[in-house]
Structure 1
Amino acid sequence: MARYTCSFILSIPIEHLQPLLVDLLQDCDLEIKYYTTDYIMAREIPGNISFSKMVTAEVLIDKSTATETETRMSIVIKNEELPLQLDNHCRQTFDFIKQAIERSRHWHLIESIAG
């Protein structure tokens, strides 16, 4: 199973972050399957890629450390594909979503740490 993670610190109030992330994931061609104020799960839309390569994205928003101006969050991008190549579909999708978060005009990126 391929799995890629990244943590972010963003300059945005926590109450504004979740709806903006839902829109961002949808703009990345992911379908929102479930969300709460501190968790979002989205998946690639079936039909364009084989089932084992379909990516699931999970976003975890850290409510316990959020301030009025700063919010921490983590993303996990995964699929059932074995990561036999460094540039696999899951990695490409992870890089695309990570860049979309880092370049979004809706917040200021303070820190990004890929794991």
Structure 2
Amino acid sequence: MARYTCSILVNTPVEQLHNLLSDILHSCEFEVIYQALDYIRAREIPGKIIFSKLVSVDVFIDKATIKNNQVSITWVVKNDELPLHQDNHCWQRFEQIQEAIYKNCQWDLVNCVAS
């Protein structure tokens, strides 16, 4: 199973956070299938890639540590594909999401750690 994570710290109004995260996911062609106050689950839209390569995204929002509109968010991008090659489908989608995070003009990216 391929799995990639990214932890970011952003400076943005908390009231806008869910909309911003949903917009990023939609811009990367993911559909949000579940939302809670501190969690979003999205999946790649089926039909363009074989089932085992479909990517899902879990977004964890750490609301307990919010200070001065700085919010810690962890992204987990995964699929059932064995990561036999470094440049696999899951990695490509992970890179696409990271690029969308960096380019988002509606928040200030304070810190980013990817693994």
Same fold (TM over 0.5): yes
For 2:51, the equivalent position in structure 1 comes to 51
**Residues 34-64 of structure 1: CA deviation (Å, up to 9, x unaligned):** 0112110000111000000000001000000
1:15 paired residue number: 15
Unaligned 5+ residue runs, structure 1? none
Q: Which residue of the partner structure matches residue 24 of structure 1?
A: 24
Deviation at 1:7, TM superposition (A): 0.2
Over the matched positions of the two proteins, sequence identity in percent amounts to 48
Cα shift at 1:13: 2.2
Structure 2 unaligned residues grouped into runs of 5+? none
More strand per residue: 2
Q: Count how many residue pairs are aligned between Structure 1 and Structure 2.
A: 115
Tell me the TM-score normalised to structure 1 length.
0.96
- Aligned counterpart, 1:91: 91
Deviating more after overlay: 75-84 vs 23-32: 23-32
Q: Once superposed, which parts of structure 1, at least 4 consecutive aligned residues long, lie more than 4 Å away?
A: none
Q: Are 1:3 and 2:3 counterparts?
A: yes
Counterpart residue type for residue 7 of structure 1: S
- How far apart are 1:18 and its partner, in Å? 1.1
Q: 1:15 to 1:68 in 2, by over 3 A?
A: farther
Preserved contact between residue 14 and residue 67 of structure 1 (Cα < 8 Å): no
CA separation in 2, counterparts of 1:68 and 1:15? Answer: 13
Q: Does the 8 A contact of 1:14 with 1:68 survive in 2?
A: no
Q: Is the 8 A contact 1:12 1:108 kept in 2?
A: yes
Q: Matched residues in 2 for 1:55 and 1:98: separation? A: 14
Aligned to 1:61: 61
